[in-house]
């Protein structure tokens, strides 16, 4: 059947069986290989993408369920602009080791931050069940906390002194 979906802003119509998982559609039909296969049973999260803004595991998401919807993959997270704050934090904290799980990890975290702002520690623990075999979890937690702090600082700065660019706290103080 014909499936129409928008991936990273581009609309595609594909003649494809409705049960083909979105993971393989992305990787093989659209050559978007940043989304990874890890288990095929939604147990590891390496294949996490956003479906209409919600983090989902694409290895068990049939193409038919994405028909008419918008998919964002790791390749589209920054949308040709600066890196997403989560990606920036991942570099700053030097999170990846082998890196294979990190596309899914970043998409899961970005999804969580968008859906549950700001998530509590228990939200984070409950919702982030992606597997990383290199054991980067200690840095993942640090990177998430850094992202949340940056977001909170930006929000505070914006609310208190919208005319002053972020990162100039001393100026903000003096202007009062």
Under the rule (CB under 8 A), what is the footprint of another protein?
A: 17, 20-21, 24, 28-29, 31-41, 43-44, 46, 73-75, 77-78, 83, 87, 90-91, 94-103, 106, 124-126, 128-141
Nearer to another protein by C-beta: 56 or 101? 101
Residue (of 89, 79, 92, 134) closest to 109 by Cα position: 89
Please state the closest distance from residue 64 (CB atom) to another protein, in A: 14
Residue 6 or residue 157: which is nearer to another protein going by CB? 6
Q: How far apart are CA 87 and CA 91, in angstroms?
A: 6
| Residue 6: CB minimum distance to another protein, A | 18
Tell me whether residue 99 or residue 118 sits nearer to another protein (CB atom): 99
- Beta carbon nearer to another protein, 41 or 159: 41
Q: Which is nearer to another protein, 114 or 175 (CB)?
A: 114
In the sheet that 54-57 helps form, which strands lie side by side, from edge to edge? 10-15, 2-7, 70-72, 48-51, 54-57
- Whether 78 and 69 have beta carbons less than 8 Å apart is answered as no
CB of 55 to another protein, least distance (A): 14
φ, ψ for residue 57, nearest 5 deg: -95, 110
Q: What gap in Å lies between CA 50 and CA 163, rounded to an integer? A: 33
Closest-CA residue to 53 (of 124, 111, 113, 7): 111
CA distance 90 to 34: 16
């Amino acid at each position: 059947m014909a499936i129409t979906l928008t991936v990273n802003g581009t609309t595609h119509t594909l003649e494809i069986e409705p049960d083909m998982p979105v993971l393989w559609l992305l990787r093989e039909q659209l050559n978007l290989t940043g989304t990874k296969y890890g288990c095929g049973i939604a147990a590891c999260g390496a294949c996490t993408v956003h479906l209409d803004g919600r983090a989902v595991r694409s290895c068990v998401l049939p193409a038919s369920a994405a028909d008419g919807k918008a998919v964002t993959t790791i390749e589209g997270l920054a949308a040709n602009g600066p890196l997403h704050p989560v990606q920036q934090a991942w570099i700053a904290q030097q999170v990846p080791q082998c890196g294979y799980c990190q596309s899914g990890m970043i998409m899961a975290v970005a999804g969580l931050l968008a859906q549950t702002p700001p998530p509590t520690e228990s939200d984070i623990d409950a919702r982030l069940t992606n597997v990383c075999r290199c054991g980067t979890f200690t840095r993942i937690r640090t990177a998430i906390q850094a992202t949340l702090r940056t977001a909170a600082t930006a929000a505070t700065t914006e609310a208190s002194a919208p005319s002053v660019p972020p990162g100039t706290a001393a100026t903000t103080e003096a202007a009062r």
